[in-house]
Amino acid sequence: MFITSAFAQTAPAAAGGGDMQSSLMSMLPLVLMFVVLYFVMIRPQMKKQKEHRAMIDALAKGDEVATVGGVLGKVSKLTDSYVSLEVATGVELQVQRSAVVQVLPKGSIK
């Protein structure tokens, strides 16, 4: 008596090509986000890794370097994966090549 009957309306039929276009438009922000992520984060990181690898490959005996842990030393011996650093007269440390962070200008270490 007080409740009226409710009837569902049917949605108008969508055109065949419009459905494909709407799905592409909904994916566009996701694709743009990945493109921006690549150029803002991934590409600069790859460039930095490439520069670090070139620096490590160019190490030579007598170079003054800084390591990840903050140790400063002069390269005394080089092997394929390790570097011997002279940190004081008669004191040598052996570190991995990848631990070298920076090559210092000559005369930095006294």
Contact 77, 84 (CB under 8 A): yes
Residue 13 placed within a domain = no
pLDDT of residue 34: 93
Residue 28 placed within a domain = yes
**37-67 per-residue burial string, b: 16 or more CB within 10 A, e: under 16:** eeeeeeeeeeeeeeeeeebbeeeeeebbbbb
CATH number, domain containing residue 64: 2.30.30
Q: Which residues constitute the domain of residue 81?
A: 20-104
Residue 72 placed within a domain = yes
Report the alpha-carbon distance of residue 42 to residue 105 in Å, rounded. 30
Report the alpha-carbon distance of residue 84 to residue 97 in Å, rounded. 9
Residue 7 placed within a domain = no
Residue 88 placed within a domain = yes
Residue 34 placed within a domain = yes
pLDDT of residue 23: 83
Residue 3 placed within a domain = no
Contact 36, 76 (CB under 8 A): no
Residue 64 placed within a domain = yes
Total structural domains within the chain: 1
The per-residue pLDDT string of the chain (110 residues; one tens digit each, 9 = 90 and over) reads: 677 776 767 666 555 556 778 888 889 999 999 999 999 999 999 999 999 999 999 999 999 999 999 999 999 999 999 999 999 999 999 999 999 999 999 998 87
